[in-house]
Structure 1
Amino acid sequence: MIAAADAATIGEPAVNISIFGVFVLITLVITFRASRNNKSAADFYAAGRNISGTQNGLAIAGDYLSAASFLGIAGAIAVYGYDGFLYSIGFLVAWLVALLLVAELLRNTARFTMADVLAFRMRQGPVRTAAALSTLVVSLFYLLAQMAGAGGLVTLLLGVTGEAAQAATVVVVGALMIFYVLVGGMRGTTYVQVIKATLLIAGAFVMTVWVLGKYGFNLSALLGAAQDSSDAAKTPRQVLSPGAQYGATGTSKLDFISLGLALVLGTAGLPHVLMRFYTVPTAKDARKSVVWAIWLIGIFYLFSLVIGYGSGALVGADRILAAPGGVNAAAPLLAFELGGTALLGVIAGVAFATILAVVAGLTITASASFAHDVYASVIKKGQSSPEAEVRVARIAAIVIGAVAIGLGILALQAGLNIAFLVALAFAVAASANLPTILYTLFWKGFTTRGALWSIYGGLLACVTLIIFSPVVSGAPVNATTGKSTSLIQGADFSWFPLNNPAIVSIPLSFFLGWLGTKLSKERPDVDKYAELEVRSLTGIGAEKAVPH
């Protein structure tokens, strides 16, 4: 968790503030220009469906590569080496699942949200409500993690201290996020994400080349230096082989498998990622955007490998763990080590851009889900006007943003574990959303009861198991920090041994979907399934309104 710190130890706050300000001004101008084209619900939710595959691939990369990817993975590699890089593998492989199973089919089937697919051949009210609730839970936990991370990162890099100053930082970040969504809609958010992805990959490229240059562009020399640095640390680790973080016990091995399942399967169920597929004009563009995203994300994670091992070699695990940000401070510390205040300022600006882009994407997804699925489809029974729907979406964005700001302040000041919140978001998406999406698209006999049991069962199982896991209470004290890694210090009410429940909650959700369908007296709408199959495979009728 990143906390406030004396920025004199890692750079010059004035430089960081200037770079933050330049980025905010540029993106505000772009957002205002994009707002001129927001004339309908399709414009606000899906950028008029005229974003190209290449642009959308960049935007997906911008949406997906959060501050956790940039700061967290680099830090995990710096401290744990091989085991840290496994996070990158899980995040990247996940896109093959998204490409092969959901991207094209969702683009062809839905209009604006995940619930459009799930409710297509089911009873509209209960299924849309369940899907909207799942979307809001995933988005809120993801937002909470990003907001807390934003407050921590910015206060660290700007030299801000004190709870009031940290809270003010979170409020400013949240206000900018709400403004981008209210004014720019999906189009403005997309352009911000494209700029952020470009800056992030360019910044990572510069650091990668700089680090490799230190070792004569010899990767083996870099890896050897990272191992030598780890051997000299207070807690030596074999960073070039597995086992530094996982694998010491049977439970930790099982925990890693569970985490891997959440990362690989959760991506294909993340609502803010799925919503990006609706912004392109054709299914071909949907496939193209995912291919672009895979290349960009894959290249970035290769950069993170060099940045991580470079941090371990040039900064050292002891200094990283002792920094206010812990492992999250690895990339900023490396930037300062390489290029001093100037490079640190650039990397700080890129990290800030990363947070703004991700939280804007999450906010528009959550607000669109409430307005389109709950207000327009359930409350108004499909009788609301597009203008009223967009107005409700904007109001929802303000409310969701305000809730995220409040919870983000509490999480930051309580030292809430961000990794826990992100893992929970992925686990919920993998448990509640993906099984229901796959059953809806590929099982002719799937029913409304099956969908509800799958969504609610996966959601409740996932949240319950995490509450009673070592992540919340009962984790042993870390020898390096002297503190437990649990959210609640000094308490122990855990009975579930794993930190991530995906290995239990995902199969349970699939099983409950099957059981609910088998026990249902409802007869599946075969004609609706046939229409869904034709639409998902061909794109015919993709622009039509989903029937209510």
Structure 2
Amino acid sequence: MNARVHAAAAEATQVGNPAVNIAIFGAFVLVTLVIVFRASKTNKTAADYYAGGRSFTGGQNGTAIAGDYLSAASFLGITGAIAVNGYDGFMYSIGFLVAWLVALLLVAELLRNTGKFTMADVLSFRLKQRPVRMAAAISTLAVVFFYLLAQMAGAGGLVALLLGISSRAGQSAVIVVVGALMILYVLVGGMKGTTWVQIIKAALLIAGAAVMSVWVLAKFGFNLSDLFQGAIDTFGEGGEALIQPGLQYGLNPTSQLNFLSLAIALVLGTAGLPHVLMRFYTVPTAKDARRSVVWAIWLIGVFYLFTLVLGFGAGALVGKEEILAAPGGVNSAAPLLAFALGGEILLGIISAVAFATILAVVAGLTITAAASFAHDIYASVIKHGQVNPDGEVRVARMTVVVIGLLAIAGGIFAQGQNVAFLVALAFAVAASANLPTILYSLFWRKFNTSGALWSMYGGLVSCIVLIAFSPVVSGKVDPVTGLSLSMIKDTSVDFSWFPLENPGLVSIPLAFLLGIVGTHLGRKDASPEKFAEMEVRSLTGAGSEKAVTH
């Protein structure tokens, strides 16, 4: 079986039967499209389009949050990272899960009580509306763009593996198709259709991961030690490093700082992710928002335990070399494991679930970006709040098309990158640009507009500049193969001067510091009365229903 997977991967041909793969894919897409079209019939107001009519229960919304959060990064990227880097790869799972405690304890209920449709509603509650909304919208669009890069790269690699498309042009065509489907989902279904797709997708993804995990454990007598030993044996010389820290992040001081930077970004990023924060507005009460997060933590936690088994299972039954040789590279570990376990039928089902995962997540991201532009920039800044809900939703739908086209272009550029790593960059942007301002707005009485703008723009610009001049974009070369591991594949191009691959270690503390400096240097426009009103509303929910009715 290992030889079969090796041959398929090494020759860069399709794994399994392309006809079966396409048939299962088509069935999944068809079912989800029917759901979206049915949901679209009830979209009558802006609240329906942006927030699903606030009609979802805590359990439903928690499942949808899990569906939104368990993206291609979680299934494809983390499984591949664990298969190739063992213990260090599992740190992604730990970071993504621990981050939810920050979201639960600090922001979920408070945001639901204070806001209306978007994160900017909260940030502008007691500050100057127009500049703060503009900054919040720009940071939202930046986070969404980086997140979309990961999903598009994952989609390209996944379908390329199934159809045997090894050329960059072929994978680019796949990304275009995914982008077109994403635009259709959001244009038609809005938040209500997107939420139902995410609920179904979360159930399918967790069930699929559970089946594969039990299957893998059965092959090793339900003994984790035997599973780890199998991965070590398949790895070959130096395989013991798989079960010890340091294979990826302990090679030198720079890689250790890389790990610290990654950990900070993962743990703090979730509480600043606009598409996750927006989900808190789809429930009727703050209590349901809190219940949503509890549901999400349980579902996400169980899934991340499965990734440990899936990652080491891929390492044991497929092998590092076969995974890296396949179209899609490290992101191919989960589909290759499915093929090794159950042949083309299981491969088709698991890959279709992964594809549905990508579609659901990009739909959620896109509607968040569209809502942010239409609600925060168009309605509040350009039209000064003088716009009817229908006009706002129409602008949101136009924005969806533009964002979809940008996502397609970015996804083509980011091909071959580990999707879990790309998502970590989005987390760094969210934690740098959004989280300091959210926390200061909720908890610091003297925080003012100047502090918010310094923090948001400073965190956003510093984060993006450091990413642009890091080894992620240029200058990272595999010492063995001599091939570029950066987004720019030409090894002669190297303009990197920032040594870390994730900027969180620098940009997140800088954003917190800039918020303090800007507050003390700027105009003292903080209103004690507005802070008191916000504090009461965020903690008790008093007056929040008036704020969220349209």
Q: Is the 8 A contact 1:6 1:159 kept in 2?
A: no
Q: Structure 1 residue 34 and structure 2 residue 1: aligned?
A: no
AA aligned opposite 1:401: G
Q: Determine the C-alpha separation between the residues in 1 that align with 2:477 and 2:157.
A: 25
Q: Determine the C-alpha separation between the residues in 2 that align with 1:325 and 1:165.
A: 12
The aligned counterpart of 2:5 is none
In structure 2, the CA distance between the partners of 1:529 and 1:63, relative to structure 1 (3 Å rule), is same
Q: Determine the C-alpha separation between the residues in 2 that align with 1:458 and 1:178.
A: 30
The aligned counterpart of 2:355 is 352
The aligned counterpart of 2:499 is 497
AA aligned opposite 1:510: F
In structure 2, the CA distance between the partners of 1:545 and 1:236, relative to structure 1 (3 Å rule), is same
Cα deviation 1:280-311 (Å, max 9, x = unaligned)? 11111111111111111110011110111111
Cα deviation 1:222-257 (Å, max 9, x = unaligned)? 122222222x25x64511111111112122111101
**1:164 positional shift:** 4.9
The aligned counterpart of 1:402 is 405
AA aligned opposite 1:450: G
The aligned counterpart of 1:105 is 110
In structure 2, the CA distance between the partners of 1:473 and 1:172, relative to structure 1 (3 Å rule), is closer
The aligned counterpart of 1:320 is 323
Q: Determine the C-alpha separation between the residues in 2 that align with 1:76 and 1:484.
A: 18
AA aligned opposite 2:31: I
Q: Structure 1 residue 157 and structure 2 residue 162: aligned?
A: yes
**1:152 positional shift:** 2.4
The aligned counterpart of 1:257 is 260
Cα deviation 1:88-108 (Å, max 9, x = unaligned)? 000000000000001000011
**Mapping of residues 432-447 of structure 1, within 5 Å:** 432-447=433-448
Q: Is the 8 A contact 1:222 1:310 kept in 2?
A: yes
Among residues 96, 99, 102, which one is paired with 2:101 in the alignment? 96
Q: Determine the C-alpha separation between the residues in 2 that align with 1:448 and 1:189.
A: 34
RMSD: 1.8
Q: Is the 8 A contact 2:69 2:361 kept in 1?
A: yes
Report the number of matched residues: 539
Deviates more, 1:111-120 or 1:177-186: 177-186
Among residues 506, 509, 512, which one is paired with 1:507 in the alignment? 509
The aligned counterpart of 1:61 is 66
Q: Is the 8 A contact 2:73 2:150 kept in 1?
A: no
Q: Is the 8 A contact 2:13 2:161 kept in 1?
A: no
Q: Determine the C-alpha separation between the residues in 2 that align with 1:128 and 1:278.
A: 17
The aligned counterpart of 1:482 is 482
**1:418 positional shift:** 4.5
Q: Determine the C-alpha separation between the residues in 1 that align with 2:172 and 2:475.
A: 29
Q: Which runs of 5+ in 2 are unaligned?
A: 1-8
**1:149 positional shift:** 2.2
The aligned counterpart of 1:272 is 275
Q: Determine the C-alpha separation between the residues in 2 that align with 1:441 and 1:461.
A: 24
Q: Is the 8 A contact 2:76 2:419 kept in 1?
A: no
Q: Determine the C-alpha separation between the residues in 2 that align with 1:165 and 1:465.
A: 31
Q: Determine the C-alpha separation between the residues in 2 that align with 1:474 and 1:352.
A: 31
AA aligned opposite 2:493: A
Q: Determine the C-alpha separation between the residues in 2 that align with 1:6 and 1:120.
A: 58
The aligned counterpart of 1:521 is 523
**1:162 positional shift:** 4.6
Q: Is the 8 A contact 1:5 1:324 kept in 2?
A: no
Q: Structure 1 residue 283 and structure 2 residue 286: aligned?
A: yes
Query: What is the identity percentage for the equivalent residue pairs of Structure 1 and Structure 2?
Result: 71
Among residues 71, 80, 87, which one is paired with 1:75 in the alignment? 80
Cα deviation 1:77-98 (Å, max 9, x = unaligned)? 1121111111100000000000
**1:60 positional shift:** 0.6
**Mapping of residues 334-413 of structure 1, within 5 Å:** 334-412=337-415
The aligned counterpart of 2:6 is none
The TM-score, its normalising length taken from structure 1, stands at 0.95
**1:491 positional shift:** 2.6
AA aligned opposite 1:499: E
AA aligned opposite 2:245: P
**1:468 positional shift:** 1.8
Q: Which runs of 5+ in 1 are unaligned?
A: none
**1:487 positional shift:** 2.5
Q: Determine the C-alpha separation between the residues in 2 that align with 1:530 and 1:505.
A: 30
Among residues 126, 134, 137, which one is paired with 1:132 in the alignment? 137
Q: Is the 8 A contact 1:94 1:268 kept in 2?
A: yes
In structure 2, the CA distance between the partners of 1:304 and 1:419, relative to structure 1 (3 Å rule), is closer
AA aligned opposite 1:544: K
Q: Is the 8 A contact 1:471 1:486 kept in 2?
A: yes
Q: Determine the C-alpha separation between the residues in 1 that align with 2:153 and 2:408.
A: 9
AA aligned opposite 1:375: Y
Q: Determine the C-alpha separation between the residues in 2 that align with 1:334 and 1:417.
A: 17
Deviates more, 1:359-368 or 1:8-17: 8-17
Q: Is the 8 A contact 2:154 2:331 kept in 1?
A: no
Secondary structure of 2:243 counterpart: coil
In structure 2, the CA distance between the partners of 1:220 and 1:411, relative to structure 1 (3 Å rule), is closer
In structure 2, the CA distance between the partners of 1:457 and 1:377, relative to structure 1 (3 Å rule), is same
Q: Determine the C-alpha separation between the residues in 2 that align with 1:74 and 1:189.
A: 25
Q: Determine the C-alpha separation between the residues in 1 that align with 2:170 and 2:469.
A: 33
AA aligned opposite 1:471: V
Deviates more, 1:363-372 or 1:140-149: 140-149
Q: Moved runs in structure 1, 4+ residues, more than 4 A?
A: 4-9, 161-164, 415-420
AA aligned opposite 1:180: Y
Among residues 108, 123, 145, which one is paired with 1:118 in the alignment? 123
AA aligned opposite 2:225: S
Q: Is the 8 A contact 2:477 2:484 kept in 1?
A: yes
The aligned counterpart of 1:23 is 28
Q: Is the 8 A contact 1:207 1:307 kept in 2?
A: yes
Deviates more, 1:368-377 or 1:5-14: 5-14
**Mapping of residues 224-239 of structure 1, within 5 Å:** 224-230=229-235, 232=236, 236-239=239-242
Cα deviation 1:497-516 (Å, max 9, x = unaligned)? 21111111111100100000
